[in-house]
Amino acid sequence: MRAAVLGSINIDLVASAPRLPNPGETLSGHGFRREAGGKGANQASAAAQLGAEVTMFGAVGEDADGDLALDTLRAVGVDVAHVRRVSEPTGVALIVTDDAGENQIVVCAGANAGVEAPADRAFDVLIAQLEIPVEVVEAAFRATDAFTVLNASPARDLPDALVRRADLIVVNEHEYAAIDALRSARRVVVTYGSGGSALFENGERVVAVPAVAATVVNSVGAGDAYCAAVALGLAAGAEPRSALLTASAVGAAAVADPASQPVLHLLHDYEAMT
């Protein structure tokens, strides 16, 4: 399957602590790492490892962080020829994770504000998120005949036209509660962490599946891995319950990996686990 991912490319600055800090509180951490991230890049990495032929559309700075982000995507087979290099610095996410795998994240967009809608329409599925300007996502969805998937994160008000055009919208439970427009969307997958996930059609829940048991090390990239898996499955015509169960297995593998772009296997390997 030919997949295009339109979205953010960041460098994640990740501090680990026993628990998340309260407002105004300083904690002693027990680890720090600098790695490639960004919701768009995370989903592109996951989709490529799951077996899709992936092209990334995004923007990074003309800096060492941009080099790191692109090299990391190339290493898993993502085509980054359409990623722009711009004068703004590469986007950065400041992340704190605790020993239970929960996190707090602040994203500084940087170069991501310079993302442009893809000119190449030769793909089967287009996945986008909201760490880039929503106008760019709208333009890309209007211009393609591909199966369109919107990961509506971070939560924000969505234009009606974008909701109508999206073949699939993927959110977590907090985003679903915050975005009223999703009640009228054709198809929405909602994730509930350890509570599993569900598919809603025109506001009605039609499928619900349990989560796959996992040892949680880091939840930062898990939602992105799940999104890539459920997007590829439903775009390929998989039966919805099967697609959600398979995506849950992918998400379980992702939370057990400390990286924002975890190591994954081919999608059919996870299908065999469900």
Catalytic positions = 224
Round to whole Å and give the CA distance between 143 and 179.
24
Angle at CA of residue 274, ends 262 and 185, nearest 5°? 75
104: how many CB neighbours lie within 10 A of its CB? 12
Q: Side-chain half-sphere of 26: how many Cα atoms within 13 Å?
A: 0
DSSP string over 156-167: ----HHHHHH-S
Question: In terms of Cα–Cα distance, which of 263, 176, 154, 266 is closest to 217?
Answer: 263
Round to whole Å and give the CA distance between 270 and 172.
21
DSSP element (H, E) containing 206 = strand 204-209
- Number of residues written out for the chain: 274
Q: What is the distance between the terminal CA atoms of the chain, rounded to a whole angstrom?
A: 22
Q: Is the dihedral of CA 75, 77, 82, 83 positive or negative?
A: negative
Residue type, 169: I
